[in-house]
Amino acid sequence: MDPLVEAGFHVIVPNQRGFGRSTAPEYVDAYNISYLTADLIALLDHFGYDKATFVGHDWGANIVWSLAMLHPSRVHRLVNLALPYQIRGDQPWTEALEAFFGSDNYIVHFCRQPGVADAILDDNVNRFLGNLFRKNLPAKPPEPGQMMINLALNKMPEGDPIMADADLQVFAESFIHTGLTPSINWYRNLDRNWEILGHVDPIIHHRTLMIYGEQDAIPKLENIREFVPNIDEISLDCGHWIQQEQPEATTAAILNWLETTS
């Protein structure tokens, strides 16, 4: 944030609904993409901005992609990390994931077995986050079972931590406060989001920067220009947690792109 502020930008970094100390509604539908994007538009209205450059990582990137489709006039530019544009096919996303990866896929499990993973993750917040936020993981076949539950129960972490204990504790205290259910409810709206996005133009015309981690398990979208024609793509030598693993390089890439685009 500091280098962006020093470069003259007003940086707004909200805890989105269900995270941090933000509002965490109880009902699942409260986390669909219409509400998540409307929250960002409300922030623009609060600060008196017609539009802004939005930056997102993973689920945040998913929201930024959707924001550009649902509220195109309120978006100036996009910067997304890790998660490329997600093509809306003929099959709802949860069904497609189940057909391709099976019922143990963590997103499918979240949707098909509500409450099961929530309870296990809530009972093991510190271990779960400590196992999740890691880099330099050894290459090996995926373990059987639900990946997120495995992370919550694994007493032998692999790879290296990407955050200091004090920083990780900020995350842990937030999730202990709200529980994991609000954040898991984001996944439980994937098929609602699929329906909502079926009524908008799927082409994103804004200037866009996509930052990949070369070691990330999430694949690049080779035909991304069919859906995001004004995109620039770069890759950094890191895994999924790009901004934590390569903070200086990420900041430099974003600043350079912002200074050379309009």
Cα→Cα distances 121→57, 96, 142, 173, 189, Å: 22, 25, 19, 13, 19
Residue tagged 């996944």 (tokens): 187
Active-site position among 57, 109, 206, 240: 240
Residues 6+ apart with CB under 8 A from 8: none
Structure tokens at 164: 């200091």
Residue 17 DSSP symbol = T
Residues 6+ apart with CB under 8 A from 252: none
Residue 244 burial by Cβ neighbours in a 10 Å radius (0-12, 13-18, 19+) = middle
Establish whether 205 is a catalytic residue. Answer: no
Rounded Cα distance between 24 and 26, Å, is 6
Residue type, 161: P
Task: DSSP for 194-252, please give it.
Answer: HHHGGGS-----SEEEEEEETT-SSPP-TTGGGT-TTEEEEEESS-S-HHHHSHHHHHH
Decide: helix, strand or coil at residue 122: helix
Structure tokens at 249: 């390089």
Establish whether 240 is a catalytic residue. Answer: yes
Active-site position among 29, 46, 58, 90: 58
Active site residues: 58, 240
